[in-house]
Amino acid sequence: MASINYKMILIEGWVNDRTGHLSDYFYRELKKLEKEFYSPSEAYGNMLEIINRLKKQTEKKYYEQLHLWYLYDSQQKAKGEKVTMTKPIIENFRQSIPLYFLTDGKYAGHISFEDIEDIENHLTFAYAKIQKEKISDELEKLKKLVTERSNNLDGKPTKLTHLLQLYYENGCRPLTKPQVEKLAQDKRITKSVLINKWIDLKANSYSHNGNSNNIKEIKKSYELLLSAFQDTNEKAYIDVKNHYDQLKETYPDLAY
């Protein structure tokens, strides 16, 4: 894999930017490098190193000029002559660097400290945009996963539904192991899987433990039980509805 000339990416973008879209240029370059298996964070870090070196070069040029000024100043004073050269002011001046030497003769002109800072700002904006997109993509994947798992429960009795059905039919009293084993046999559910589900449910007082996936599953089970108990078991229907309403009030953002 050929090495990447990060310095030329930075300088060419700045030199050729005539429309004020330097951030868009850096965004495209970072995405291109990503396709070549250079992560945006790696490329951004390497470019920042180049930028910091260029800043140091401009400051070195400034201090060299400042040193020359002090030599000139002392010489003029030693001769008793007037100082005619103005002292450079560090707060508002940085020495620029000739592009000819930075680009091996490809470009002429100079690049200043302020120009380099401008490049850094646009590069950072482009990198932040990519990071924001990655976070957004991850959130969308998570939402899709939760939705898929939730939709898989639509209209289907689950192991949880069967256990909760027995729980409410039993007057909201704790289930016994024989009851769970009989349910597994009646519904032809693998005994070990159903018992593990029952142990988890019992440990959480026949409710959910705050996990978003558990809440989704509980919600679907309640909807199925409300439909099943509506005309067959008034007491169980009221108990399920009360608990379902409490769930929706407690977790309004996850219950729908």
Task: Residue 11: name the closest of 94, 95, 106, 93 by CA.
Answer: 106
pLDDT 10s digits, 7-65: 999 999 999 987 789 999 999 999 999 999 899 999 999 999 999 999 888 877 766 66
pLDDT at 85 over 70: no
**In angstroms, rounded to a whole number, what is the distance separating the alpha carbons of residues 136 and 214?**
24
Residue 76 lies in a domain: yes
Looking at the fold, whether 172 and 227 belong to one and the same domain comes out as yes
- Of all residues in the chain, the percent with pLDDT exceeding 90 is 29
Given pLDDT bands bounded at 50, 70 and 90, which one contains residue 83? low
The SS3 assignment for 111 reads strand
Total domains in the chain come to 2
pLDDT 10s digits, 114-161: 899 999 999 999 999 999 998 888 878 777 766 665 555 566 778 888
Looking at the fold, whether 133 and 165 belong to one and the same domain comes out as no
Looking at the fold, whether 107 and 167 belong to one and the same domain comes out as no
Instruction: Write down the pLDDT at residue 91.
Output: 43
Looking at the fold, whether 97 and 60 belong to one and the same domain comes out as yes
**In angstroms, rounded to a whole number, what is the distance separating the alpha carbons of residues 10 and 3?**
15
Instruction: Write down the pLDDT at residue 148.
Output: 64
pLDDT at 113 over 60: yes
pLDDT at 202 over 90: no
Structural domain range at position 74: 6-141
* CA angle in degrees (0–180, nearest 5) for 52-55-56: 90
Looking at the fold, whether 55 and 121 belong to one and the same domain comes out as yes
> Which structure tokens are listed for 222?
């309640």
Instruction: Write down the pLDDT at residue 154.
Output: 60
